[in-house]
Structure 1
Amino acid sequence: MVKQVLKAEVESLGGLQLKCSARGFDFLIDEPENVGGSNQAMNPLEALLCSLGACKMMVARFFYQAQQINLHSMKVEMLGEIDSERLKGLEGIKVGFSKITTHYTIKADNTAEEIQAFISFIEQTCPVKDTIVNTPEFEIKIDAI
């Protein structure tokens, strides 16, 4: 097995704005004004939903022809349910999403059964979903300077 290591870096830009970087590409993360941010970008949970939806879309785009799907268009909408009381430190409240729903809108010249099989393939093949469902080992390293 050949392992690949992907690297991402996050840097504070002041306030709650963050610069996220990987392979020479950057994007911003922020929070809405009502929680102290400047509302200049999506928050980390929204970025996670986007990453999950984008991964599902990439799997679809990579494999639709091999799966014999005559795809005309596709959209993925991600909905994440989260308890708004999560950051108050109350016992028994899950901090992260309690439910994530994927809503696929697909226009294709295929039967409902073929489209359902294709969606099942996407759900089984998406690396971001696999990472969320089958949590990886976490390791923390600290350089105190």
Structure 2
Amino acid sequence: MSKQILKAEVASLGGLQLKCSARGFEFLIDEPENVGGSNEAMNPLEALLCSLGACKMMVVRFFYQAKHINLKSMRVEILGEIDSDRLKGKPDVKVGFSKIITNYYIEADNSEEEIAELVAFVERTCPVKDTIVNAPEMELHINP
């Protein structure tokens, strides 16, 4: 088994705005104005949904030809259901998403069965989905 460590860093830019960095690339995270942000970027939960959708799209892009899919176009819509009452202090309410829904929109010269097989493959092999469904061991270090 060959293990690899991926590294990401998040730094505060003031207010609720954050700079996320990995491998020399950056993007911003923010919150909507109604919760104290400046609404200049997506929030962390939206970024998670985007990461999940992007990962599913990448799996398709890597494997559609090997699966003999004549792909013309594709997009993935990810919906996350969350109860915002928990963030408002209501006890006994799940903090994170209670449901995540993926809607695939695939245009291809293939049968419905072939497209369904491709989607099933994506759902089995998407690393971000696997990370969400089968939570990794979490370790915490507090550094000076």
TM-score by length of 2: 0.99
Q: Which blocks of at least 5 consecutive residues in structure 1 are unaligned?
A: none
**Where do 5+ consecutive residues of structure 2 fail to align?**
none
| CA–CA distance in structure 2, aligned partners of residues 84 and 142 of structure 1 | 29
- Indicate the residue corresponding to 1:24 in structure 2: 24
Return the alpha-carbon distance in structure 1 between the equivalents of residues 142 and 92 of structure 2.
29
Which residue pairs with 2:82 in the alignment?
82
Structure 1 segment 7-86 matched on structure 2, within 5 A: 7-86=7-86
Q: Aligned letter for 1:122? A: V
Q: Secondary structure at the match of 2:46?
A: helix
Moved more, 47-56 or 87-96: 87-96
Question: TM-score if structure 1 supplies the norm length?
Answer: 0.98
Quick one: distance in 1 between partners of 2:134 and 2:57?
20
Residue deviations 1:52-101 (CA, integer Å, cap 9, x gap) = 00000000000000111110000000000000212123221000000000
Instruction: Give the partner amino acid of 2:59.
Output: V
Matched, 1:6 2:10: no
CA separation in 2, counterparts of 1:66 and 1:122?
A: 13
Cα distance in structure 2, aligned partners of 1:135 and 1:116: 26
Q: Which amino acid aligns with 1:45?
A: L
Aligned residues between the structures = 144
Q: Counterpart of 1:49 in 2: which secondary structure?
A: helix
Task: Tell me the residue number matched to 1:116.
Answer: 116
Q: 1:98 is aligned with what amino acid?
A: S
Task: Please report how far the alpha carbon of residue 34 of structure 1 lies from its aligned counterpart in structure 2 after TM superposition.
Answer: 0.1
- Runs of 4 or more off by more than 6 Å in structure 1? none
1:104 Cα shift?
A: 0.5
Distance 2:28 2:64 in 1: 31
